[in-house]
Structure 1
Amino acid sequence: MNGGVLHFLLEFAFFYPLAMSLVWMSGGVIYYLRWERNEPLRVKPPALAEYPMVTLIVPCHNEGEQVRETIAHLASQQWPNFEIIAINDGSTDDTGAQLDQLLDQYPKLRVIHMASNQGKAMGLRAAALASKADFLVCVDGDALLDDYATHWMIAHMLDSPRVAAVTGNPRIRNRSTLLGKLQVGEFSSIIGLIKRAQRVYGRIFTVSGVIAAFRKSALHDIGYWNTDMVTEDIDVSWRLQMRHWEIRYEPNALCWILMPETVRGLWKQRLRWAQGGSEVLLRYTGRLMKWRQRRMWPVAFEYFTSLLWSYTMGTIVVLWAAGHFVELPRSLYIDTLLPQWHGVVLGIICLAQFGISLLVDRRYETRIGRNYYWMIWYPLVYWVLNTATSIVALPKAIMKRKGTRAVWVSPDRGLR
């Protein structure tokens, strides 16, 4: 490596997040001006011409502490025609017993018991095949669905027969720690803004695994969820769009979720997300080379570039650390990792991104601004974490044997 290569790496490390922030901000503003600006404040959704049957699906594995609250919110959906299917996927706690007790309380509830841990994708498959409806709304076992979330998502399905899936708007329930508060801002200023931008530019990287609606005929077209992908939500999103189905984002479809509030829990979660992204990139890159898949190219290129950026940052850190122990050529020596003028520029852009997302997102949660005070720590905590998990995840994805079933691993539900 010579000085020219190092200079290129340093420039790429700076300009990539800068460019992507500008893309996300511009896309978020376009989305707001086109679809949100003239929309009245969310009280009740508009009336629809029809209200088809919908199946609400909740796959569960060791959700005994949350499942009653989750089912209660599903049962309170303001949709006239629905059923609930809960899948007890080999739980080792009292999840199955609690679900059986709820059958008398909620007549619309059906329960499927799996004898052993088969994984979320298999549970979703079983529920989809047992469903009586043409439309599915899938939520996690710790999710509290807003009363009108089904209405907002199914409206997109009725609007166009090409819409295969609609991803909702997850909101963080547990906010007692710094990690919890940071994730409140992350889901609105980062994830929400990215989904808005991707919706504008044509393809969405992934539906949210905790809240998404699906058209069953579209799922049937691609063979439902793959059981050997560590993140079934990313995989199903890519396969649907590669079959030229459309995915939309609906910010009014709110869903309150629990997230990790320990470094260990957050590491495991983000490592799984990063591995899932690497797996779909490795599996589908060959198919993406065809011209008819060109609308997926920006999504794949964005993820590939983010991986390249993570390894670039890792290389810079290694060179900086090595310079303290061995004599490096001056062209490879990095004085400090502390932000210089590049850091000031990125900080300003980051604050601008947070500000735009706050203005856009406050219509869905009016007091969200109080959590933005903590977002000053976001680059330090999450950029380091996401860089490290991306570096570790790619080899894991490469070495994973195709066909190995992805089973449940109970996540960190935070401190409550």
Structure 2
Amino acid sequence: MGQNLWLAPLFEFAFYYPLVMSLFWMSGGLYYYLRRERHAPARTDPPPMESFPFASILIPCHNEGAQVDETLCAALAQRYPDYEVIAINDGSRDDTAQKLDALAQQHERLRVVHLDRNLGKANALRMGALAARSEYLICIDGDALLDPYAMHWMVWHLTSGPRVGAVTGNPRIRNRSTLLGKLQVGEFSSIIGIIKRAQRVYGRLFTVSGVISGFRRTALNRIGYWSDDMVTEDIDISWRLQMDYWDIRYEPNALCFILMPETLKGLWRQRLRWAQGGMEVMLRQFHGLFVWRMRRMWAVLVEYLLSLLWAHVMALMIVLWTIGQFVELPPALHVESLLPAWHGVVLALVCLLQFACSLVIDRRYEAAIGRNYFWMIWYPLVYWLLSLTTTLAAVPKTLLKRRGARAVWTSPDRGLR
């Protein structure tokens, strides 16, 4: 990149931000692995429990007819002795209701709650929690396949201390037939998984994984359950729990196999929703963060604000370079080139090192994950470009959103099946 005195600090930030964050995530992830995972019990040998309290699995469903049978079968096959499964049909227009009723006739553990119209995932979860008979609630999506031992691992965490309000599991990508699917295998391993480990080291998570998370009902009662006007109910519930001083754990042994978008349109819509959800939560909670008792949230706050700043700095660089191709700008605003030169080589090497670290950690849960290493090489360009564009698009979308508008379901891209 061409530089001058005015733009040099911006170029340096644009380069050093992803570099420093990668090193930060790697060190935190490896520390978590060496201290908590390396000598932990195998996934199929979860820690013993003095008793097995009754627990509930909540599965909100909206137009999930194509995959609801396998989702419910996996939920009903848990290696946990005492639990129920509650499926909430949130105004589905396909055959989800009929399939759920048929399954309920076959399985005593399964109960079905039918809602007459689409009121959103947050409302469906709240209705399921009201119908549940237990203190411990395990929530999964309607297309997710829960590992047989996942419930044991999550309830073990929730019962391990009185201040554990939630625990999030380890999503794994099921559909890998396209390049986008293969890239997301690397993302969930080397980006999302390692970030959660690093955040857990310094004490606070940005969000639980909405596709697999467990909650203590007492904690939900205190904060008022899920908010139905937030586009990402998982980010919102995570921040409100932690600001009420509840602890959130991360359990990589609690596996859940999920479907992800395999088209650019589907991936864009999903990541734009994630970006908008993070911004909505930040706007709502920002005023309450600047007190000493919220200091453990400051690291997560700083990480988010720096990512927001990086996206806008990169956008500024691109705009100045584009304008400079047509008109002559003052030297202080001239961007000679967007090609990264040696910066790109350094970032690529650090990124590959991060991928290698994640593969070392994640082969414990997926022995053949190394075969995806080649595809991960191409991921940095996709990830940073997607992060940049969705962050920029989310700003006006969030600011212009009508206050109090209910966030209802839209059927996502489930990949090529």
The TM-score with structure 2 as length reference comes to 0.98
Deviations 1:58-92 (A, max 9, x none): 00000000101000000000111101110100111
The whole-number CA distance in structure 1 between the counterparts of 2:349 and 2:333 is: 28
Shift of 1:402: 2.2
Please list, as runs of the form range in 1=range in 2, the aligned pairs for 1:225-264 lying within 5 A after superposition: 225-264=226-265
1:228 aligned partner, one-letter code? D
The one-letter amino acid paired with 2:322 is A
Q: CA shift at 1:43, angstroms?
A: 2.5
User: Which residue in the other structure is 1:50 paired with?
Assistant: 51
Alignment of 1:366-405 (within 5 A): 366-405=367-406
Identity among equivalent positions (%) equals 64
Cα distance between partner residues in 2 of 1:304 and 1:401: 23
RMSD: 1.0
Which residue identity is paired with 1:239? Answer: R
Amino acid in the other structure paired with 2:402: R
Residue of structure 2 equivalent to 1:301: 302
Question: Where does residue 96 of structure 1 map in the other structure?
Answer: 97
Matched letter for residue 154 of structure 1: V
Aligned residue number for residue 350 of structure 1: 351
Q: Distance in 2 between matches of 1:215 and 1:402?
A: 29
User: Given the alignment of the two structures, is residue 143 of structure 1 paired with residue 144 of structure 2, yes or no?
Assistant: yes
Offset at residue 386 of structure 1 (A): 1.1
State the alpha-carbon separation in 2 of the partners of residues 220 and 158 from structure 1: 17
C-alpha distance in structure 2 between counterparts of 1:154 and 1:41, whole Å? 16
Q: Output the CA distance in 2 between the equivalents of 1:402 and 1:131.
A: 31
Number of matched pairs = 415
Corresponding residue SS for 1:251: strand
Matched, 1:192 2:193: yes
Q: Given residue 335 of structure 2, which amino acid in structure 1 is its aligned partner? A: I
Does 2:154 align with 1:153? yes
Q: Separation in 1 of the partners of 2:357 and 2:382?
A: 21
Cα distance, 1:382 vs structure 2? 1.6
Q: Per-residue deviation at 1:169?
A: 0.2
- The DSSP-based 3-state class of the residue aligned with 2:253 is strand
Residue 365 of structure 1 and its aligned partner are, at CA, apart by: 0.2
**1:111 aligned counterpart, secondary structure:** strand
Matches within 5 A, 1:104-119: 104-119=105-120
Tell me, in whole angstroms, the C-alpha distance in 2 between the residues paired with 1:128 and 1:285: 28
CA distance in 1, matches of 2:131, 2:44: 33
1:366-400 CA-partner distances (Å, limit 9, x unpaired): 00010111011111112101110000101111121
Q: Is the 8 A contact 2:47 2:156 kept in 1?
A: no
2:16 equivalent in structure 1: 15
- AA aligned to 1:237 is S
Q: Indicate the residue corresponding to 2:277 in structure 1.
A: 276
1:327 is displaced (CA, Å) by 1.1
Question: Which has the higher mean CA deviation after the structures are superposed, 249-258 or 94-103?
Answer: 94-103
Deviation at 1:339, TM superposition (A): 2.1
> Secondary structure of 2:257's partner?
strand
Distance, in Å, in 1 between the alignment partners of 2:213 and 2:178 is: 27
Q: Which moved more, 1:155-164 or 1:325-334?
A: 325-334
How far apart, CA to CA, are the structure 1 residues paired with 2:115 and 2:205? 32
Unaligned 5+ residue runs, structure 1?
none
Amino acid at match of 1:289: F
Q: How far apart in 1 are the matches of 2:166 and 2:42?
A: 24
1:282-308 Cα distance to aligned partner (Å, 9 max, x none): 111101112111111111111111011
> Residue 139 of structure 2: SS of its match in structure 1?
strand
Report the residue type matching 1:50 in the other structure: S
Q: CA deviation at 1:159?
A: 1.1
> Whole-Å Cα distance in 1 between the matches of residues 165 and 395 of structure 2?
29
Contact preservation (8 Å) 2:63, 2:95: yes
Tell me the equivalent position of 1:341. Answer: 342
Of 395-404 and 56-65, more deviation after overlay is shown by 395-404
Counterpart in the other structure of 1:413: 414
- Give the match for residue 293 of structure 2: 292
Distance (whole Å) between structure 1 residues aligned to residue 329 and residue 156 of structure 2? 61
Q: Distance in 1 between matches of 2:367 and 2:231?
A: 35
Question: What are the residue-to-residue correspondences of 1:28-107 with 2, within 5 Å?
Answer: 28-107=29-108
Partner SS for 1:159:
coil
Offset, 1:149: 0.1
Post-superposition offset of 1:3:
4.5
Residues 147 and 5 from structure 1, CA distance in 2 versus in 1: closer, same or farther, beyond 3 angstroms? same
Query: Structure 1: which amino acid aligns with 2:225?
Result: Y
